[in-house]
Amino acid sequence: MFLDDEIKLWWCLGATTWRCTPSEAIGLWSVILFYMTVLVVTIIHSVILSNHETLATGPPTRRRRSMSTAATDDDDWRNLISLMVYFFTFCAGCLVWVAVGPRWVHPVQIWQLQLLGSAILLGACIPLFVAVHVNMGENWSPIPEQKEGHQLVTHGVFQWARHPMYAVFLWAALATLLATLNWVIAWCVFGSVVIAVRRIETEERMLVDLFGRHYLEYRQQVSALGPPWGCLGFDGEIMPGVTFQQYEVIH
């Protein structure tokens, strides 16, 4: 099978694999192309917004301090421990990769899975990421904040997920694992996904404060990350122990 035949190693960036095949090369370059697209689109959108002089009406929205100081400190410690575990696991993986060889971090090659991952990245993740930025327009910001003339976006890809950009990152992380079958690369990407997804709680509270009942109704109709990511729990309570209806009464 042509897709499983060996080709010149430079197509696979040299030491990234122990056997360079067309499917391996396609997988690696599809990952590079996706994340380059993320970088370029983000920069372009930031420049456009800067030229339009879109001004924020207040400081970046911060997480509401509804928990006790002790509970918040516990959360900070858990976050720190999680970050340390992630960092040292990634470093250990890189050390194994360099010291022992790529086969220890990329043990198998299955060309069908690698092409599937590439197809998800190129055929779904890139177009959807661009669509999210187009749909958001001037309502987009790299940090959670209230902007002048801020509007609730519910059209386009927002009909399927309240936070479609984070959903794209989740799908891209899965596709990266399939495309490369390299657990160190996948683990690196997974870290960025965790950082992105953790912003959902802050953004949800900000959007409820901004749009009230309108956003609560939208929230009940559309999943946070779309199928099949409902299992991650972002469609439950806005605040621990407080239901949608109770939160609406409070505000």
pLDDT at 237: 63
**Hey, what are 22's tokens?**
């067309």
Instruction: Say whether pLDDT at 72 is over 70.
Output: no
Number of domains in the chain: 1
Cis peptide bond upstream of 228, omega within 30: yes
Would 9 be classed as within a structural domain?
A: no
The three-state DSSP-derived secondary structure of the chain is CHHHCCCCHHHHCCCCCCCCCHHHHHHHHHHHHHHHHHHHHHHHHHHHHHHCCCCECCCCCCCCCCCCHHHHHHHHHHHHHHHHHHHHHHHHHHHHHHHHCHHHCCCCCCHHHHHHHHHHHHHHHHHHHHHHHHHHHHHCCCCCCCECCCCCCCCHHHHCCCCHHHHHHHHHHHHHHHHHCCHHHHHHHHHHHHHHHCCHHHHHHHHHHHHCHHHHHHHHHCCCCCCCHHHHCCCCCCECCECHHHHHHHC
Would 159 be classed as within a structural domain?
A: yes
Instruction: Say whether pLDDT at 246 is over 60.
Output: no
What is the average per-residue pLDDT within 156-182?
Answer: 94
**pLDDT tens digits, 96-143:** 888 888 889 999 999 999 999 999 999 999 999 999 999 998 888 877
Would 63 be classed as within a structural domain?
A: no
Residue with tokens 């197509």: 11
Would 71 be classed as within a structural domain?
A: no
**pLDDT tens digits, 34-68:** 999 999 999 999 998 888 754 444 444 443 333 33
Instruction: Say whether pLDDT at 71 is over 50.
Output: no
pLDDT at 174: 95
Would 61 be classed as within a structural domain?
A: no
Would 31 be classed as within a structural domain?
A: yes
Range of the domain at 203: 14-50+76-250
pLDDT at 244: 52
Tell me the pLDDT of the chain averaged across its residues: 81
d(CA 113, CA 30): 13
Would 121 be classed as within a structural domain?
A: yes
pLDDT at 40: 95
Instruction: Say whether pLDDT at 73 is over 70.
Output: no
Higher pLDDT, 233 or 242: 233
pLDDT at 147: 66
* Percentage, residues of the chain above pLDDT 70: 80
The CATH number that applies at residue 199 is: 1.20.120.1630
224 touches 161 (CB < 8 A): yes
Would 60 be classed as within a structural domain?
A: no
Instruction: Say whether pLDDT at 154 is over 80.
Output: yes
**Hey, what are 239's tokens?**
């605040």
What pTM does this model have? Answer: 0.81
